[in-house]
Amino acid sequence: MKITIYTTAYCPFCKKAKTFLEKQAFDYQEKDVEIDHQAAQEMMEKSQQTGVPVLDIAGKIVVGFNPKKIEELLKEV
């Protein structure tokens, strides 16, 4: 399963989302939108949002740290 998380270095909810995925033993690709402008554009196209975190779980988007929604999507794929 492909999981991408769009983050910034200072975002506390990004850290919570990454810890959540790690505790459940899911691998993910992290893209720091503060330094990677292409990733920032990609995130905005996918989510229509500029805030982080944004998670792309097998093509399904979660904006913000929403453990219930993340867990639900992880079970679906």
User: Where along the chain do its domains lie?
Assistant: 3-76
Over range 32-53, report the average pLDDT: 96
Give domain 3-76's CATH architecture: 3-Layer(aba) Sandwich (3.40)
Over range 26-43, report the average pLDDT: 97
- The whole-model pTM stands at 0.94
Over range 49-56, report the average pLDDT: 96
DSSP-derived letter for residue 70 is H
CA 7 to chain centre: 7
